[in-house]
Amino acid sequence: MKNKNLLSSVALFSELYNNSDSDIFDIIGDFILGVCKIESKYSFTSSELKSLMASTFGFDIPEAVLRTVLNRRLNNKLNKVGVVYYFEAKQESHKDSIKDKFEIINREQKDLFQNLIKYIEEKKQRKLTEEQEKKLEDNFYEFLLDNGYSEEYSNYISAFVVKNENDTKFRDILLSIKEGLILYEGIKYSPDLNELGNWKNSLTIYLGTEYLFNSQGLNGELYKEIFNDFYTLVQEINVKNRGIKKTIELRYFTETKLEIDNFFSTAEKIKSGKLSLRISKPAMVDIVNNAKEISDIALRKTLFYKNLTNLGIYEDDYECSIDELEIYNLEDKAILEEIEKISKENNKIFNEVDTVELIKIFTKINCLRKGHSKVNFEKCSYLYMSENSLARYLGHNNLLKIKDGDFTYCKEMDFVTTKFWFYLNKGLNQDKNCLPKTFDLINKAKIIISSHLQSSVVEKFDEFSKKVKNNELSEEEIKIYNLELKSKIANPEKIAIDTVDNSLDFLENDDYLNRAYEENLLRDKRLKETEKELQYFIEKENLKKLEEEKKIFESEKLKWSEKQTQNDRNINNENIQYFFKCLIPDLIIIIITVVTFRINSITEWLKTISDNITIIFWLLLVVLLLISQFIKSNFIDKTKVAEGWKILKSLRYYSSDKFIKDRISYHKSNYKKTDNLS
């Protein structure tokens, strides 16, 4: 980091600005008084003060601004002799609070940075060297300041920020730094702070493809909200500067239109089945999935351009003339070779086609500027705005600059939004939910992770496709790799605390897919083992249940069989009784006959009645026998009589335990569950 105190200083600047009614000049005045106390230096020139502010607070504030503050805001607290300003030390004792607050903020930020180091060391599983910590500090500064193209630790920094999304203190620290940087950058690069509240310089901004898609919400809700924040500021500037021509013009080059046309054409091919969707940008997925028919895509394209027109965003078919190209052309074979070399050194794939296309766009910007790029943002007149990582890298690469100090040809939207916000003097001490979404560094972190995931997935998918083509992967590997790659595509709003570590692992470890494959195999193996154990458990439980049911069944069967056997015995008894009842008439006749002819007194008595009494008796006996047979034939159940006789013949068996066992066994063999319902 150029000055380790700068982040603490800007955070303090933000705190003072938000917690008082003071304006920017008053806050700078407080810092001037603070530096006098901290450095115990009470006389200096504006040049010396500039150096003191830089060494103490890290502020690089223009001398003109410092002189304005000294002459207009602190003139009653100093004396000026020539070019030297004199302060009275005793008047500034109350400014110890600046020093105290600065030290508190500095400690908080150091603790935050130490937590970042700890987080990265845990992820890398090794301690960072002193040189690596310094590099990380520089990258963290660049992340917070949007100062250039951060590469080495940007994924770790972004993941760390997302991981602490719900930590209120952490968010407050980041917000104070971001707000302070907005104010500081505005002071540092603004030619005249007295003109805050207006933007008067004409500026034509050429939007890259992704920003045009964002304007329609094709890349997700967060990107659309960020675009809307930017567009609202553009409208406000144009409304304040009413004229024949808009102050801020929004355009896109023919190259961008061709890219969009090809994008929709590819979507049609995917919908028609000529191409597979595979790994695609969120915008492509949105277009394809929301089209029921191929014709819907053509209609979506027409509406897309119509909506751009409604927003006042038009195509510019500008082409550099031959004369302009001779002077302002940036295309050079040596530059391409150098960029390719740098890409290989950083293990990045060099895309010559995309690089050449972007350099052509930068050449157009250079032609439009007529080579006048040694200016600040406010006076650059023409700017290409893109979130494309290659465009951002090339935009900050000195290889494409004609002179040292030239303002870049390409900037990202959050930079421009911040500048407009400051110049319109919108202020920061308001409801934080009303601030542009790009001011939230957590949103920025999510965008970086999402963007890097997109690039990394496409890169890895190309490698994956080559391996598939060369038959280097099994069907199982193809399936798992494909699913893993598709699962990593995510809009910024889907990057969350519980998923960011996995995203970081994917971005930073080349063996992620191989590990994912092995983990999937292991998971499948464990799943099968679990299923096997579960099946065994189920079978065991089922067997146990069957055994219990069998016991219950056997118990019920035995009870029912015993009951039926008892019923059989009761029926047998009834049949025997019935058999004997049926014998009663015969027995009576036999008894009468025996008694009559065996007892002499009765016989003699009968003879006294009639000499033919014997004949009469036998006739009467025959009648009784006939009556008995008639009754037996018509009123007696022969089956029961037969059963009774059968039982009587085998009475020993039917009255034994063996009969009971046999009947129980018989009934058990014929038992059905429904028998118990009756």
Same domain, 456 and 591: no
Same domain, 582 and 487: no
Helices assigned H by DSSP within 73-167: 96-124, 130-145, 154-163
CA separation for the pair 241, 248 (Å, rounded): 10
Same domain, 208 and 332: yes
Secondary structure (3-state) at 353: helix
43: enclosing H helix or E strand: strand 43-45
Nearest to 197 by CA among 428, 432, 420: 420
Position 655 in a domain: yes
Same domain, 471 and 575: no
Which class for 582: exposed (0-12), middle (13-18), buried (19 or more C-beta within 10 A)?
Answer: buried
Position 84 in a domain: no
Same domain, 441 and 576: no
Same domain, 347 and 406: yes
At 350, the amino acid letter reads F
Give the domain range for residue 416. Answer: 203-449
Q: Give pLDDT, residue 143.
A: 86
CA separation for the pair 14, 153 (Å, rounded): 26
DSSP string, 400-440: G-SSTTPPPSEE-HHHHHHHHHHHTT--SSS-GGGS-GGG-
Q: Give pLDDT, residue 304.
A: 97
Q: State which residues of the chain have pLDDT below 70.
A: 1-4, 89-96, 146-151, 191-195, 244, 278-280, 401-402, 427-433, 595-614, 616-618, 629, 631-635, 673-678
Same domain, 332 and 223: yes
Cβ contact 369:479 at 8 Å: no
CA separation for the pair 485, 500 (Å, rounded): 15
In terms of C-beta distances under 8 Å and separation of at least 24 residues, what long-range contacts does 577-586 make, across chains too?
Answer: 577/644, 578/637, 578/640, 578/641, 578/644, 579/640, 579/641, 579/643, 579/644, 579/645, 579/647, 579/648, 580/644, 582/632, 582/636, 582/641, 582/644, 585/624, 585/627, 585/628, 585/631, 586/628
Nearest to 313 by CA among 415, 204, 438, 437: 204
How many domains is the chain built from? 3
Position 22 in a domain: no
Position 213 in a domain: yes
Q: Give pLDDT, residue 1.
A: 41
List, for residues 443-484, the tens digit of each pLDDT value: 989 988 988 888 888 778 877 778 777 887 777 777 777 788
The structure tokens listed for 47 are 């040049």
The structure tokens listed for 153 are 């630790």
Position 226 in a domain: yes
Q: Give pLDDT, residue 45.
A: 94
Position 263 in a domain: yes
| Sheet containing 84-87: order of strands | 43-45, 84-87, 78-81
Determine the straight-line distance between the first and last CA of the chain, rounded to whole angstroms: 93
Helices assigned H by DSSP within 470-511: 475-488, 500-508
Per the DSSP assignment, residues forming a β-bridge with 382 are: 204
CA separation for the pair 41, 55 (Å, rounded): 13
Cβ contact 619:557 at 8 Å: no
At 422, the amino acid letter reads F
Q: Give pLDDT, residue 199.
A: 87
Q: Give pLDDT, residue 141.
A: 82
Position 105 in a domain: no
Same domain, 332 and 436: yes
Same domain, 246 and 317: yes
User: Model pTM?
Assistant: 0.72
| Sheet containing 313-316: order of strands | 313-316, 248-253, 203-207, 382-385, 410-411
CA torsion sign for 354, 355, 358, 364 is: negative
Q: Give pLDDT, residue 665.
A: 86
Cα-based distances in Å from 616 to 345, 449, 611, 630: 146, 132, 10, 21
Same domain, 311 and 354: yes
Per the DSSP assignment, residues forming a β-bridge with 205 are: 250, 383
Same domain, 421 and 463: no
The structure tokens listed for 656 are 């034994």
Position 538 in a domain: no
Same domain, 416 and 387: yes
